[in-house]
């Protein structure tokens, strides 16, 4: 799957359906030859010939004239003839930023190399191979080692770069992308996931044109606004057909993804740490490792691209790839009671869950320090004895008596000014000396770049997890980071802070998840403000959004599924009128839309009507049937809520024996008649019983003629169809 031809000086990286080809020119430049649907291992020497242009510096090689300004390259630099965006920029001790990388050596090994301190695709790597190409810079004296690991079955290639200072003086890294890919065409749509708090990951598709189109985060986390993902897709690509190149970062901090269409109509796609505010001092011999990026190629539309991403996550990404992890059905106290909790109120809530079939009760915010609202106690991770005079022992045993285990909420990266921790260590929050730090939700951010801070939080959390029988942790992060800088860094290293913060967070996640392997950790950042492969390496599921409105969730979950599997998303049934939108939807609708995710409830079970109690039991029964498909099946988007008044998605078991289809109406059209939805992922020759209609149809009938939707649907109505093969 990775081959090197010494005659052609060419590397061929092959996946099941794609080829990625790299070539070393005779002058040592590392040239990108091709990325796309599978091609043969031919000599592609002639594929560079268009790289000659007037009014750009040209070079002559073997009788051909080339311009670096139009030469497709693997890891381009600035200052020696390529005027497009560089992948890396290193400043020399004399302040100059001129770089020139040429090939030095390469190595092909089995498996994937370990990436220290960063999350990466590390599981089930039998059959993968890695190409390492070392480039050396004769102008500034650094080396870039480019790593490409090929995951053949998933049509995916992961990439990261290690930059090493090979001089005896300090160098300053000004930018270092994880991935750079040159395409000779510009006829792409740029598809990204945009959003805001409570409105995450809506699909944003626009055509590329001349100039640079980019998305980024400067918020200290990947953010609600743009997900660290972008796809370059053909203008006619649909769910089922057409080409799609998908790129995602395995990183949770500031990032930038850009697509530059240049004067010659070629496109350069780059992704990595956001260079805005970033610098990194490299002492002699020191290395910097970029976060990992993953690229996938599909010639079967967006669905193929998503399946590659989903399979990479479910099969190869840290905790997300651990099949033994059990994802419980939970009930969470947040929307039920917010901060207004006491042992008695929680006890009532827990007791009223008896017999419903819920696995775990999760005590959300408000249980620690002396937290009565969001303006105190973050950092004081000990139990508020006024609210819980018996510690947590009593509540945990009541949970057990009622058939549930116990989970708890933390916000480990934060500190309130009104807290014991702040009074002891006022300098531990991120702040600019001499300047009051900016508050957000009345809270400050702990400087996770400092190891003593990480140790203190580790010790507090570990003490609780050791003392109590806690099976589930919701790890929140409720603000963006301002005032970047750290007392632990020298003046010229302050530009490292945002990255070192994330490294500190990863180290804490790593220690806790390793020390407590039986605890299920769920990620959260004001809902889905840090929904990325970085977090999914440590935590196999993330609270998708603080917006629990079922109709809003259609777009949020549909958009999220572009990159992330449904096994990574958590969705809960909450009370109505909905707390975020005021909308009233049927209880069944809320259940149906949350079903194909990590399922649960976010309401006061003691206030349920008997009809709702019965519906919960039915929903949980159904979820138990669907559950195996969520973790092992394939997800299909059938009708987009962005393009229609309806929405439809489907999950199908890999052996094609079972499937479930969720159909939802956002806004009904009166007098509109019925229609058919063409299903996917079925065995054409098998006969399926479709309930609730109880009809029998062949897979090929359901996939080609479609599933008939005959009933009239009203606003916010839903239906779930279950398919079982004979």
Summarize as ranges the residues that interact with ligand GLA (CB under 6 A): 334, 364-365, 409, 476, 478, 524, 526-527, 543, 546
Distance CA 653, CA 634 (A): 6
Roughly how many angstroms between the first and final C-alpha of the chain, as a whole number? 39
Which residue, 268 or 371, is less far from ligand GLA as judged by CB?
371
Beta carbon nearer to ligand GLA, 359 or 364: 364
* Sign of the dihedral defined by the CA atoms of residues 336, 342, 346, 351, in that order: negative
Which has the closest alpha carbon to 416: 446, 382, 449, 376? 376
Closest contact distance (angstroms) between CB of 364 and ligand GLA is 5
Q: Which is nearer to ligand GLA, 225 or 478 (CB)?
A: 478
**Rounded least distance, CB 543 to ligand GLA, Å:** 6
- Based on CB atoms, which residue is closest to ligand GLA, 418 or 478? 478
How many angstroms separate the CA atoms of 156 and 148, rounded?
Answer: 10
118's tokens: 């960063």
131 three-class SS: strand
Nearer to ligand GLA, 71 or 336 (CB): 336
Place of tokens 């053949």: 152
Provide the minimum distance between the beta carbon of 417 and ligand GLA in the complex, in angstroms, as a whole number.
Answer: 17
Alpha-carbon span 44 to 41, nearest angstrom: 9
Query: Considering the complex, what minimum distance in angstroms separates the CB of residue 365 from ligand GLA?
Result: 4
Query: Which position has the token pair 């480990």?
Result: 412
Q: Which of 650, 658, 648 is nearest to 723 (CA)?
A: 658
> What CA–CA distance (Å, rounded) separates 394 from 555?
40
Measured from the CB of residue 410, what is the shortest distance to ligand GLA in angstroms?
10
Residue closer to ligand GLA, measured from CB, 532 or 634? 532
Query: 64-67 and 58-61 as β-strands: parallel, antiparallel, unpaired?
Result: antiparallel
CB 599 within 8 A of CB 571: yes
Least distance to ligand GLA, CB of residue 338, Å: 8
User: What is the secondary structure of 539-582 as a DSSP string?
Assistant: -SEEE--S---HHHHHHHHHHHTTTS-GGGEEEEEE-SS-TTT-
3-state secondary structure 267-313: EEEEEEECCCCCCEEECCCCEEECCEEEEEEECEHHHHHHHHHHHHH
CB of 190 to ligand GLA, least distance (A): 29
> What are the beta bridge partners of residue 76?
none
- Closer CB to ligand GLA, residue 71 or residue 550? 550
Backbone angles phi, psi at 454, to 5 degrees: -60, -45
**What does the alpha-carbon distance between residue 603 and residue 361 come to, in Å, rounded to a whole number?**
11
Is 478 or 665 the residue whose CB approaches ligand GLA more closely? 478
Could you give the angle at the alpha carbon of 156 between the alpha carbons of 151 and 160, nearest 5°? 90
By beta-carbon proximity to ligand GLA, the closer residue of 398 and 524 is 524
Residue 627 sits at the vertex; the CA angle it makes with 682 and 555, to the nearest 5 degrees, is: 80
CB of 541 to ligand GLA, least distance (A): 13
Which residues does 140 contact at the CB level (< 8 Å), separation at least 6?
Answer: 90, 91, 92, 96, 97, 98, 99, 100, 171
- Only one residue has tokens 């010659």, namely 264
Nearer Cβ to ligand GLA (461/626): 461
Q: In whole angstroms, how close is the CB of 524 to ligand GLA at the nearest point?
A: 5
Residue ranges with strand state E in 38-155: 58-61, 64-67, 88-91, 101-110, 129-137, 142-151
603 closest CA partner among 198, 331, 330: 331
In this structure, what token pair is assigned to residue 585?
Answer: 């939807």
In whole angstroms, how close is the CB of 196 to ligand GLA at the nearest point?
Answer: 14
Taking CB positions, which residue lies at the least distance from ligand GLA? 365
Closest approach of ligand GLA to the CB of residue 511, in Å = 23
Q: Which CB atom, from 599 or from 649, has the smaller least distance to ligand GLA?
A: 599
The residues near 325 (Cβ < 8 Å, ≥ 6 apart) are: 319, 520, 540
- Min. distance of Cβ 546 from ligand GLA in angstroms? 5
Question: Cβ closer to ligand GLA: 87 or 477?
Answer: 477
- Active-site amino acid positions: 476, 546
Contact 596, 662 (CB under 8 A): yes
Backbone angles phi, psi at 319, to 5 degrees: -60, -30
Rounded Cα gap, residues 512 and 325, in angstroms: 16
Alpha helices in 604-723 (DSSP H): 610-632, 699-704
């Amino acid at each position: 799957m990775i081959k090197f031809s010494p005659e052609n000086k060419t590397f061929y990286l092959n996946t099941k359906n794609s080829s990625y080809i790299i070539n070393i020119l005779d002058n040592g430049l590392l040239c990108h030859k091709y990325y796309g649907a599978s091609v043969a291992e031919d000599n592609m020497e002639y594929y560079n010939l268009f790289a000659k242009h007037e009014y750009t510096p040209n070079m002559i090689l073997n009788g051909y004239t080339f311009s670096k300004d139009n030469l497709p390259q693997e890891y381009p630099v600035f200052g020696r003839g390529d005027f497009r965006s560089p992948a890396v920029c290193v400043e020399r001790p004399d302040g100059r930023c001129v770089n020139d990388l040429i090939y030095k050596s390469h190595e092909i090994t089995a498996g994937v190399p370990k990436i220290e301190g960063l999350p990466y695709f590390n599981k089930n790597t039998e059959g993968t191979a890695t190409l390492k190409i070392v480039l050396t810079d004769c102008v500034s004296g650094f080396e870039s080692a480019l790593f490409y690991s090929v995951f053949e079955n998933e049509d995916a290639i992961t990439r990261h770069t290690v930059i090493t200072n090979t001089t005896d003086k300090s160098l300053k890294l000004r930018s270092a992308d994880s991935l750079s890919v040159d395409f000779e065409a510009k006829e792409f749509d740029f598809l990204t996931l945009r959003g805001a708090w409570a409105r995450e990951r809506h699909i944003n598709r626009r055509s590329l044109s001349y100039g640079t189109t980019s998305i980024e985060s400067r918020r200290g986390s990947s953010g609600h606004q743009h997900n660290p993902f972008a796809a370059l897709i053909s203008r006619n690509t649909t769910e089922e057909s057409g080409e799609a190149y998908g790129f995602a970062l395995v990183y949770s901090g500031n990032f930038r993804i850009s697509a530059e269409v240049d004067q010659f109509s070629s496109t350069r796609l780059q992704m990595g740490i956001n260079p805005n505010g970033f610098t990194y001092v490299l002492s002699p011999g020191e290395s910097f490792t970029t976060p990992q990026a993953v690229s996938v190629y599909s010639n079967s539309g967006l669905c193929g691209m998503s399946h590659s991403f989903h399979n990479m996550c479910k099969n190869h990404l840290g905790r997300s790839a651990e099949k033994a992890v059990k994802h419980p059905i939970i009930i969470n106290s947040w929307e039920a009671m917010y901060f207004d909790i006491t042992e008695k109120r929680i006890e009532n809530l827990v007791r009223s869950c008896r017999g419903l079939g819920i696995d775990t009760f999760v005590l959300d915010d408000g249980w620690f320090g002396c937290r009565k609202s969001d303006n105190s106690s973050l950092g004081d991770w000990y139990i508020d004895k006024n609210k819980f005079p018996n510690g947590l022992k009593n509540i945990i045993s009541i949970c057990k008596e009622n058939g549930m285990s116990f989970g708890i909420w933390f916000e480990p990266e934060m500190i309130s000014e009104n807290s014991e921790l702040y009074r002891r260590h006022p300098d531990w929050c991120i702040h600019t000396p001499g300047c009051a730090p900016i508050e957000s939700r009345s809270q400050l951010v702990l400087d996770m770049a400092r190891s003593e801070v990480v140790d203190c939080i580790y010790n507090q959390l570990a003490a609780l997890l050791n003392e109590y029988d806690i099976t589930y942790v919701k790890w929140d992060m409720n603000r963006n980071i301002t005032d970047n800088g750290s007392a632990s860094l020298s003046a010229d290293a302050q530009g490292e802070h945002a990255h070192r913060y994330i490294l500190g967070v990863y180290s804490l996640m790593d220690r806790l998840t390793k020390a407590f392997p039986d605890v299920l950790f769920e990620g959260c950042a004001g809902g889905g403000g840090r929904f990325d492969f970085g977090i999914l390496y440590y935590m196999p599921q993330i609270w998708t959004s603080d917006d629990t409105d079922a109709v809003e969730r259609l777009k949020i979950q549909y958009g999220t599924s572009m990159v992330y599997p449904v096994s990574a998303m958590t969705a809960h049934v909450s009370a109505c009128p909905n707390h975020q939108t005021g909308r009233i939807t049927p209880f069944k609708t809320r259940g149906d839309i949350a079903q194909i995710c990590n399922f649960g409830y976010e309401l006061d079970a003691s206030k349920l009507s008997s009809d709702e109690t019965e519906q919960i039991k039915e929903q949980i029964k159904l979820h138990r049937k669907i559950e195996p498909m969520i973790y092992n099946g394939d997800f299909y988007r059938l009708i987009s809520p962005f393009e229609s008044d309806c929405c439809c998605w489907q999950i199908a078991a890999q052996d094609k024996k079972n499937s479930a289809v969720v159909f939802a109406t956002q806004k009904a059209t009166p007098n509109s008649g019925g229609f058919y939805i063409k299903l996917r992922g079925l065995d054409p020759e098998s006969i399926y019983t479709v309930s609730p209609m109880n009809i029998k149809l062949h897979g090929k009938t359901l996939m080609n003629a479609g599933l008939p939707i005959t009933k009239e649907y009203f606003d916010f109505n839903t239906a779930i169809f279950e398919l079982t093969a004979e």
